[in-house]
Amino acid sequence: MNPSLKGQAALVTGADSGIGKGVALALAGAGAKLVINYAHNHDAAEATVAEIKAAGGEAFAVQADVSHEDQVKAMFAQMYAQYGTIDILVNNAGLQKDSRFVDMTLDDWNTVISINLTGQFLCSREAAREFIRRGVVEDRSRAAGKIICMSSVHEVIPWGGHVNYAASKGGISMFMKSIAQELAPHKIRVVGIGPGAIQTPINKSAWDTPEALDKLLTLIPYNRIGKPDDIGKLATWLASDEADYITGTTIFMDGGMTLYPGFADNG
């Protein structure tokens, strides 16, 4: 049976493309009403909204840069004006600004940490305040609220050439666990998802030629690239009462990327 999120209000940051879009479509498919957050690409966000509506769901798009406190607050205000509250937050917005470490600019460091990590802080704080204010609504969920933090296999796999990104994901891991510990007595669940290589625009160069894909697959024992829909299904389950006893942990969904495949028959 598909888990039901009927009547629950969900905000997915960075839902105009990639994993965020896959998660938004899946949550809507399970009956949630969506806020589709985007930073820049208005048309893509409206396309996600249209896809949800065409399937009989409810959604609207809100522009906000998640690293700006005033914009985050304004986004939550819009959500409350429309839906009255929030039940599910998916902290998904994130980006890469890759370079060799010695060439990395402070700007590229700060941008990645601000959006990937500080953005999760700002959005989670707003959501947690509302979850605590409102408490559990029995006919919607056993929890007062659910926060899903999109992390990465790079919260545990070091990643040269991407140290700002890996540092942001390592930070998300400890951020997620610490707020999970603090918020659990309020019946708020906080969980992480650690995707491996998922076929999205962020890692296009790793899959868009047969040679690149072959090289990537040497890192994935299960021998296929992931799809946004894989993550969408996991997020839906984690947000549902089926997962009511899960909090403070990251579920890796990576085809085995975290299994140190280089050690198979080696070492």
Catalytic annotation, residues: 165
- CA gap 98, 101 in Å, rounded: 9
| Cβ distance to ligand BGC smaller for residue 41 or 96 | 96
CA 82 to CA 64: how far, in whole Å? 16
Residue numbers at the binding site for ligand BGC (CB under 6 A): 96, 152-154, 196-197, 202-203, 206
Closest approach, Cβ 114 to ligand BGC, in A, equals 17
| Lookup: tokens for 115 | 């959006």
Q: Give the closest residue to 37 by CA, choosing from 111, 110, 96, 88.
A: 88
- Kind and range of the H or E element at 132? helix 119-134
From residue 18, alpha-carbon distances to 79, 102, 204, 229, 256 in Å are: 22, 30, 11, 10, 21
| CB of 179 closer than 8 Å to CB of 128 | yes
To ligand BGC, the closest distance from the beta carbon of 51 in angstroms equals 23
Compute the least distance from the CB of residue 98 to ligand BGC, in Å: 9
Number of residues that make up the chain: 267
Strands of the 88-91 sheet, one edge to the other: 58-63, 33-38, 9-12, 88-91, 145-150, 188-195, 250-253
Residue among 59 and 253 whose Cβ is closer to ligand BGC: 253
For the bound state, the minimum distance from the C-beta of residue 262 to ligand BGC, rounded and expressed in Å, comes to: 14
The kind and range of the H/E element at 265 are: none
CA distance 239 to 199: 23
Q: Closer to ligand BGC at the Cβ: 136 or 202? A: 202
Q: CB of 145: closest distance to ligand BGC in angstroms?
A: 25
